[in-house]
Structure 1
C-alpha cells in the first residue's frame, strides 16, 4: 500500500512540474508568451502585432454558452472605452474560426476571437488544465484574463473569473495603469 501512495505522490509532483512549465507560474512583470492563432476570419494573428498597445487577453471555454456570452457582450459594451485607452481585446477559446465568426455575428461582438483548438496557448498561459467543476476534478478551460502592457509584459492577471462584471473590472484596472 505504501508503494501505491508513493507512486501517486510521484505522479502528482511530476504533474505539478509540468503545469508550472506550462504557464501557471506566470506573474505580473513577466514577458508575455508569444503566439500566433487564427481569428474568426481565418487570418493568423500574433501577439507581437500589438506591441505598443495594451492587450486584454481573455480565455473562455466555449462560444455561445451563457457565461461566455455574458463576458463577450460585456467586453463589447465597453469596447469603445478600451479603444480610448489604446487597448485591443483578444478572446481565446478552443472553438474553430467558423464558430467564432457565427458567435460574433449572432451577438454583434466587437473584439477579435482567436482559435486555440489544440489548447496549447491556453495551457502556456495556465488557462487550460485541471480544475474543480461541480465538485469534481476535470480538465478544461479556466476562465482567466491577462492584461499585457504596450511593451509585452504582464501587467495584471485575473483567475477564476466570474463573467458578469468582469469587463468593467478589467477596464478600471487598465485605466489606473494606463492613466
Structure 2
C-alpha cells in the first residue's frame, strides 16, 4: 500500500522520469534541470471533470508561470492519444505526459491503489532538481490556487 505524499520530501532531489508527451516525444525531467523551474501537475485524466477544470486554471496563467522562469508539465495515467485529445480539446498550452504504467506517479507517492489511478498533486522542482514545494490532495479541487503557486515560485527565485 502506498502512503499519500510520503515521497519525495521537500528539499530532496526530484525523481527523474522519461514519459511520452501528447505530441509523441519523450520528455525527461532532467532535461529541464539548469534551465527552468518545473511545476509538475499530477491529474486524474480526461475522464475527470475536476482535473480538466484544474488544467484549465493552470492554462489561464501559463504565460505568467513562464514569466517566472517556470514551465508546467501535466502528468496522468491517460494514453498518449487521450493526452493529445485533452491538449487539443481544452487548448492546454503546456505538455501533457502519459504515465499509463504509473512509474512517475508511484515515484512521486501519488498512486491511489484503491482506485488504480493517481491523486491530484503538484510539485515545484527548482532549477537544481530539488523539490521545493509539494501539495497532495485527494481531489483536484483541493489544489492550491495559481496565486499561491506563483507566490511560492517567487519565494524560491
Equivalent pair of 2:37/2:126 in contact (CA under 8 Å): yes
**Change over 3 Å in CA distance of 1:76–1:82 after alignment to 2:** same
Q: Normalization by structure 2: what TM-score?
A: 0.89
Equivalent pair of 1:57/1:90 in contact (CA under 8 Å): yes
Extract unaligned runs of 5+ from structure 1.
1-14, 131-136
- Measured after TM superposition, the shift of residue 169 of structure 1 is 2.1
- Measured after TM superposition, the shift of residue 164 of structure 1 is 6.7
2-structure distance, mates of 1:129, 1:170: 24
Extract unaligned runs of 5+ from structure 2.
none
Equivalent pair of 1:23/1:123 in contact (CA under 8 Å): no
- Measured after TM superposition, the shift of residue 23 of structure 1 is 7.1
- Measured after TM superposition, the shift of residue 148 of structure 1 is 0.2
Farther-moved stretch of structure 1 (149-158 vs 57-66): 57-66
- Give the structure, 1 or 2, with the largest relative contact order (CA under 8 Å, sep 6 or more): 2
CA RMSD of aligned residues (A): 2.0
2-structure distance, mates of 1:142, 1:108: 23
Number of equivalences: 154
SS of aligned partner of 2:123: strand
Are 2:27 and 1:59 equivalent residues in the alignment?
A: no
2:118 aligns with 141
**Change over 3 Å in CA distance of 1:168–1:49 after alignment to 2:** same
Are 2:74 and 1:91 equivalent residues in the alignment?
A: yes
1:33 paired residue among 7, 11, 15 = 15
Equivalent pair of 1:91/1:114 in contact (CA under 8 Å): yes
Within-5 A mapping of 1:86-165: 86-130=69-113, 138-160=115-137, 161-162=140-141
1-structure distance, mates of 2:84, 2:19: 14
Which has more radius of gyration? 1
- Measured after TM superposition, the shift of residue 104 of structure 1 is 1.0
Q: Which has the higher helix share?
A: 1
SS of aligned partner of 2:141: coil
